[in-house]
Structure 1
Amino acid sequence: MRRLKALLIKEFLQMRRDRLTLIMMLGLPVIQLVLFGFAINTDVKHLPTIVFDQSLQQDSRDLLSSLEASGYFDIKYLAKSYQEVNSAVDAGKAKVGIIIPPDFSENLKHGRQAAVQVIVDATDSMAASSAISAAQLIGQLKSQDILLQQIRGYSGHPTEKPYDIRIRPWYNPDFISAFYMVPGIMGVMLTMTMVMITSMAIVRERERGTLEQLIVTPMKNWELMLGKIIPYSLVGYVQVTVALLAGVLIFDLPIRGSLALLYALTALFILASLALGLLISTVTKNQMQAMQLSFFVFLPSVLLSGFMFPREAMPMVFNLLGNLLPLTFYLQILRGIILKGVGLSVLWPQIVALVIFIIITLTISIKKFQKKVA
């Protein structure tokens, strides 16, 4: 009994000294509860929407007001051409595009069906399903209102269905879940391996006592960092290649964009993930801490990046937190190139974000490493 008591006291004292591990053990459940409780929402609302209203009549304004009042559509852009709608949806600025023809009001007044085209970005099947269901339901309700007025003899001629909501799901019209998940799994897989493996690189050298040998060699700090990064970069490229081959051969994944561009931008994400892993390795004391802190970063990356749950459904604060994660931008690059076939003219904001993340993270890592060496 005395030995057990002594062992318990020893373990509690060790946990008290190892404050970082204790903070992560206590903080991780809280973060999980907060993320799952507030950030994760499968009812996707407030989808950014672009409208090309060629009618500009009261009837079209009433329809747009009804769509926006539903809470599912946030009309953020007013287009002046079809090309503006296409560009906004391609770039991901708008998840929904609504096109109202010039004869919309005229058709309603003369008892003809009034068509409305609703373009939906179906790369995210959950958000697309919410948009489609809401648009169709609002079209049905508006049609019922007109039919009731006609039955009561107020106006117009009997029409079977006044509002004809024509849904156009783009990029993944059959809503094949593999097309959405495979690119996401590629990004998550790289995050998990690159961050976790690299985070233990310098810590492992320190625990083995070989870090001092590396320090006394005629090697600069940034050279040491690159020496730790380059081998894992090659591993990352092998993982991406295997995942792409599996996606194409097993799931018939379409690659509509440039494969060379995909590999070039993958280098940025691999470097960003490795830089984050190096930063973790410079602030931790042992491999256990490095692994725990890596998981501490990995969980928000999966939940807040848009891998599983649409970012449009998240509260603003969690949406902003997602912008601090490199996986958020890499998923947009992956799905943009693979499913949409877009290029640099669309993906440049994501590229700039990854470059800024790399510069900041590597700078902090090198400075932290210099302090530890000193």
Structure 2
Amino acid sequence: MSPRITASTAGRVLRQLRHDRRTVALLLVVPVALLTLIYFMYDTARTFDRIALTMLGIFPFVIMFLVTSIAMLRERTSGTLERLLTTPLGKLDLLFGYGIAFGLAAAVQASVAVAAAFWLLGLDTLGNPGLVVLIAVVDAVLGVALGLFCSAFARTEFQAVQFLPVVVIPQLLLCGLFVPRERMAGWLQAASDVFPLSYAVDALTQVGRSTEPTGTMWWDLTVVAGAAVLALTLAAATLRRRTA
């Protein structure tokens, strides 16, 4: 793995992303629009604070999973990936380049969404908004890593999207957004403990409850980051040059 090649890959992906206006709109406009919808759905500020804070971590995860799984599939089906891998570019260079590029895009996305939530919609938390941005970015990188991993098993864009209900929806249902994890049945709680999104949501909950970063929050963030690195490594191991 070469830092120079990885950085070059990240730059290429960012240039492509900059010219894709629909994806830019999906990254920047859609989360703010959905947060605004949530704001008008709930009558009490306390309920909005709890739901919106959690969604600031969930939106980047879901969107980045969808975008990267399709983007990598297009690289394979168009033959671009096969041509790239005939150069000194390695699989880890490619995947970590993607992770860096979309991580930077996630930082912009999270900053815009958090700014809108706190200063336009009145979201109120005890913790620092900067920590919310940090957690959202790490969660987005997790979505990128899982999207890259799952794209290796898809042959068409439709198949890539089909991984959304398989990989993402169960994590949404069991992360504690709808029912507190401690109130779930034992086997559901055990499944929730395996899913990295549960730790991202718990980290955001810690930010909402405490004025200072807690040890639990840092542990949760470490688990999410570790899951992202593991997913990127597995993606490198399963990545195919092209889709037949």
* TM-score (ref. length: structure 2): 0.73
1:304 is matched with which residue: 150, 158, 174? 174
Q: CA deviation digits over 1:88-137, x for unaligned, max 9?
A: xxxxxxxxxxxxxxxxxxxxxxxxxxxxxxxxxxxxxxxxxxxxxxxxxx
CA contact (8 A) 1:205 1:211 kept: yes
Quick one: distance in 1 between partners of 2:45 and 2:189? Answer: 25
What letter corresponds to residue 73 of structure 2 in structure 1? Answer: V
CA contact (8 A) 1:280 1:294 kept: no
Distance of aligned partners of 1:247 and 1:267 in 2 relative to their CA distance in 1, 3 Å threshold: closer
Counterpart for residue 96 of structure 2 = 226
C-alpha deviation, 1:209, in angstroms? 2.0
Secondary structure at the aligned position of 2:219 is classed as helix
Listed as ranges, the gaps of 5+ residues in structure 2 are 1-43
Secondary structure at the aligned position of 1:176 is classed as helix
Counterpart for residue 241 of structure 1 = 111
Quick one: distance in 2 between partners of 1:186 and 1:261? Answer: 11
Distance of aligned partners of 1:280 and 1:327 in 2 relative to their CA distance in 1, 3 Å threshold: same
Quick one: distance in 2 between partners of 1:274 and 1:297? Answer: 13
Quick one: distance in 1 between partners of 2:195 and 2:144? Answer: 13
C-alpha deviation, 1:175, in angstroms? 7.1
Q: CA deviation digits over 1:47-85, x for unaligned, max 9?
A: xxxxxxxxxxxxxxxxxxxxxxxxxxxxxxxxxxxxxxx
CA contact (8 A) 1:277 1:294 kept: no
1:328 is matched with which residue: 179, 193, 198? 198
Identity %: 25
Counterpart for residue 358 of structure 1 = 228
2:50 is matched with which residue: 151, 176, 180? 180
Secondary structure at the aligned position of 1:283 is classed as coil
Quick one: distance in 2 between partners of 1:281 and 1:226? Answer: 15
Superposed, 1:257-296 pairs within 5 Å as: 257-296=127-166
Quick one: distance in 1 between partners of 2:125 and 2:137? Answer: 18
Quick one: distance in 2 between partners of 1:313 and 1:244? Answer: 29
Aligned length: 199
Tell me whether 180-189 or 224-233 shows the greater mean CA deviation. 224-233
Q: CA deviation digits over 1:173-219, x for unaligned, max 9?
A: x8721011101221221121011111112211112222211111221
Counterpart for residue 82 of structure 2 = 212
Distance of aligned partners of 1:342 and 1:350 in 2 relative to their CA distance in 1, 3 Å threshold: same
Quick one: distance in 2 between partners of 1:249 and 1:194? Answer: 24
Quick one: distance in 2 between partners of 1:242 and 1:180? Answer: 19
What letter corresponds to residue 306 of structure 1 in structure 2? Answer: G
C-alpha deviation, 1:341, in angstroms? 2.4
Listed as ranges, the gaps of 5+ residues in structure 1 are 1-173
Quick one: distance in 1 between partners of 2:194 and 2:168? Answer: 13
Quick one: distance in 2 between partners of 1:346 and 1:228? Answer: 29
Counterpart for residue 18 of structure 1 = none
CA contact (8 A) 2:128 2:211 kept: yes
CA contact (8 A) 1:192 1:298 kept: yes
Query: Which runs of structure 1 show a deviation greater than 6 angstroms over 4 or more consecutive aligned residues?
Result: none
**Structure having the larger proportion of residues in helix:** 2
C-alpha deviation, 1:335, in angstroms? 2.1
Over the residues paired in the alignment, what is the CA RMSD in angstroms? 2.2
Residue 317 (str. 1) matches residue 208 (str. 2): no
**Structure having the larger proportion of residues in strand:** 1
Quick one: distance in 2 between partners of 1:213 and 1:184? Answer: 41
CA contact (8 A) 1:272 1:354 kept: yes
Quick one: distance in 2 between partners of 1:362 and 1:331? Answer: 21
C-alpha deviation, 1:303, in angstroms? 0.8
What letter corresponds to residue 93 of structure 2 in structure 1? Answer: E
